[in-house]
Structure 1
Amino acid sequence: MKKVAYMIRSKVADNDKAGPAGAAPAVRWRSRPWAATLILTGGLAALVLGMLLSVSLGAEDIRFATVWEAVFRFNRHLTQHQIIQELRLPRVLGGAIVGACFAVAGAIMQGMTRNPLADSGLLGLNAGAGFALALCFAFVPGLPYMYLILYSFVGAGLGAALVYGIGSLARGGLTPIRLVLAGAALSALLTALSEGVALYYRIGQDLAFWYAGGVAGTKWLQLKIMFPWVAVAMVGAFALSRAFTMLSLGDNVAQGLGVRTGLVKLGGAAIVLILAGAGVSAVGVVGFVGLIIPHITRRLVGVDYRWIIPCSAVLGALLVVFADLAARMLNPPHETPVGAIIALIGVPFFLYLARKEEREL
């Protein structure tokens, strides 16, 4: 590992100038395992607390002792036990899984593309998956969730391919700002098409949930189908974490260290599509999680993706769980869309990053 770090440090300076136009400058090799350990332990403890609060609080507050009994000594004849088991537990677990999905997907995208503005919502993946779901609701109503999640993967892939294709057509090549502009334009187009399909086929009520973004409708069946896909993608992300670290320093550095960049990028793209598609199919279009969390994680633990990926998963889950809790507590008994709560944080953060990127260009 020391040899790898030395080789990276010796090549970073040359790579800063030799990198593609508009790419973010290569970052210095640094890692803070102590900070990552603190985030993982403290974040998991906070996540457990947040999940407990989320299960307990709502339109009807439930005592912690009742929550414990419903989880470990379930009595189907008790209404509160049914509320916990059938409504609140799948909701909070779905929020944690989806938060981890979006955060890890964003971290991988930012590392592979060296684009600090990369996010599944900003680069068309979420809108593509939403468009695929709109077509499914319109033409194949009642489609089982197993097929919905597959079509979400296809839609996310279509959105990403179109964004990269449109961004590459610009004179001067693909830059972070052009990529985001292409993603914003395509997302607006796909959203408009989805709404047109919803109006024509009168499925607006079904589709409104997906575009508002929320975990209220999460069921155990969805979690059972989604979890294997997410688990395989997370294992793959961690297996490729060292290669993602090299790619985040530039293709030239990665190739010089023996990384097969083409295969790594293909594997990373597949992982991102699975994570983003699974997230959208479960909770709808929730943006900015994959933009905010990776930046915070890198600031805290450094650039080593062996720490970034697990820490991003924990912090992403933490963000969505507490955002969903806030969405329920702001105006009870009515619920605010969780996507709107996260956007209140994400939009100013995006504007800050865009301004910073413009100054660096």
Structure 2
Amino acid sequence: MSITQVGGVSGAQTEPPITRPKRIHRPTLLAAAALAVLLLLLALLSLLIGTGSSTVGRAWDFLLGDPSARADAQVRLAVMDVRLPRTVAAVLVGVCLGAAGCLLQAVTRNPLAETGLLGVNSGAALGVVIGLTYFGVDSPYAMLVWALVGGMAASAVVLLLAASGRAAGSPLRLVLAGSALGATFHGLTSYVLLSTQSTFDTYRYWTIGSLAGIETSDTYPLLPLIAVGLLVAFGCARPLGALALGDDSARSLGHHPGRIRVVVAGAVTLLAGSAVALAGPVAFLGLLAPYAARTVSGPRIGSQLLLSALVAAGVLIVADLLARVVIRPWETPVSVLLAFIGGPLLIWIARTDRMSTAGASA
């Protein structure tokens, strides 16, 4: 009888491990499915609303394959050449910034970390200014290349600085190196801009952050970089979960904290560099999307990455839609709208007791 009781007890104890993962992950899966559906609806709305003389009805007929709408050159131009490229760019930039922000907040254990922490934004800005001033860059694609090269070069220097010394690879050293290099690059950018007025006029439009004028061909060179960055990001989910327990706990589980931070920084460089190169420095998105994801996923890094990417993509499409209609017939830079939304929201987060919770779960 005692054997039966022990067996019954042990059997009862083995049931929760089978059912608990489903209960834990169910809210995340439901949230991810809901966000994916919402993202598709927002993308469809982005194709229907925008600049140009094409109405919502004509754009809808075009998408449904109506012969008269398909034959209308203005409708085709508005939907396929203007709205579709910027919708695809909004999704890519949002996914990149959401995932990159989530990675940075996890690896630095800082809920206020964002994609400019590794000097990517300042390096991209310096690269654009150098290309405009000294190499005669005169096309959006060339500016994209210079921004990407500048952002990656800045991040590489930050990693080298953070990897040297006795506290190599520590979160504090990574933050300090990024802040110092970012300030240096910002000073160099300002010096070059003050000497050339024509460069300043072009740079001023780029640095605001906008999705206007993006062509489909601009996204093709970035797709491999984004794919590699996302693969590395999700591959780091388990090591980052161990790192959240502390460096000593991570080592006891067989992980190397320094290597984890270097790999994560490389993924952030690919993602944030691609986003900045495509749309300019878009503020607040990489900061707020991970916070929103953590409210649903909790401390699970893989779930945070997925939800943060979806949230950021959806928010950026909404901001881009508002940018097209707020001051018609002109257009507001999308980064300005995100600043109006993100600034008050960040103040609200800082004034509540959720900041400590976000930091603990990061």
**Is TM more than 0.5 here?**
yes
Which fold has the larger relative contact order, with Cα–Cα distance below 8 Å and residues 6 or more apart in sequence?
A: 1
Q: Distance in 2 between matches of 1:85 and 1:241?
A: 37
Larger radius of gyration between Structure 1 and Structure 2 = 2
Q: Distance in 1 between matches of 2:324 and 2:250?
A: 46
After superposition, give the CA deviation of every residue in 1:118-145 in whole Å (9 maximum; x if it has no partner).
1013553212211112112222233787
Counterpart position of 1:284 = 280
* Equivalent residue in structure 2 for 1:315, among 311, 333, 354: 311
Which amino acid letter does the alignment assign opposite residue 97 of structure 1?
A: L
* CA apart distance, 1:165: 8.9
Alignment of 1:182-197 (within 5 A): 187=182, 190-197=185-192
Counterpart position of 1:341 = 337
CA 253–151 in structure 1, closer or farther in 2 if over 3 Å, else same:
farther
* DSSP-derived class of the 2:214 partner: coil
Alignment of 1:92-241 (within 5 A): 92-122=87-117, 124-142=119-137, 151-160=146-155, 187=182, 190-201=185-196, 202-241=198-237
After superposition, give the CA deviation of every residue in 1:284-336 in whole Å (9 maximum; x if it has no partner).
01111111011111121111122111111111101111011111221111111
Counterpart position of 2:56 = 63
Q: Distance in 1 between matches of 2:64 and 2:113?
A: 39
Question: Greater shift after overlay, 149-158 or 131-140?
Answer: 149-158
Using the size of structure 1 for normalisation, the TM-score is 0.78
After superposition, give the CA deviation of every residue in 1:217-276 in whole Å (9 maximum; x if it has no partner).
211111111112111211221122111222223222221211232332222111100111
* DSSP-derived class of the 2:262 partner: helix
Which amino acid letter does the alignment assign opposite residue 185 of structure 2?
A: L
Which amino acid letter does the alignment assign opposite residue 69 of structure 1?
A: F
**How many equivalent residue pairs?**
328
* CA apart distance, 1:76: 6.6
Question: Greater shift after overlay, 85-94 or 344-353?
Answer: 344-353
RMSD of the alignment, in Å?
Answer: 3.5
Q: Distance in 2 between matches of 1:274 and 1:293?
A: 18
Q: Could you tell me the percent identity over the aligned residues?
A: 30
Which consecutive residues of structure 1, in runs of 5 or more, have no partner in the other structure? Answer: 1-28
Matched, 1:46 2:38: yes
Q: Distance in 1 between matches of 2:238 and 2:168?
A: 28
Q: Distance in 2 between matches of 1:308 and 1:68?
A: 38
Counterpart position of 2:3 = none
Q: Distance in 1 between matches of 2:260 and 2:194?
A: 41
Q: Distance in 2 between matches of 1:48 and 1:319?
A: 13
* CA apart distance, 1:48: 1.5
Which amino acid letter does the alignment assign opposite residue 54 of structure 1?
A: S
CA 231–68 in structure 1, closer or farther in 2 if over 3 Å, else same:
farther
Q: Distance in 2 between matches of 1:353 and 1:173?
A: 32
Contact conserved, 1:214 with 1:339, CA < 8 A, in 2? yes
Using the size of structure 2 for normalisation, the TM-score is 0.78
Matched, 1:248 2:222: no
Counterpart position of 1:22 = none
The structure where helix makes up a greater share of residues is 2
Contact conserved, 1:243 with 1:259, CA < 8 A, in 2? yes
Which consecutive residues of structure 2, in runs of 5 or more, have no partner in the other structure? Answer: 1-20
Q: Distance in 2 between matches of 1:177 and 1:269?
A: 14
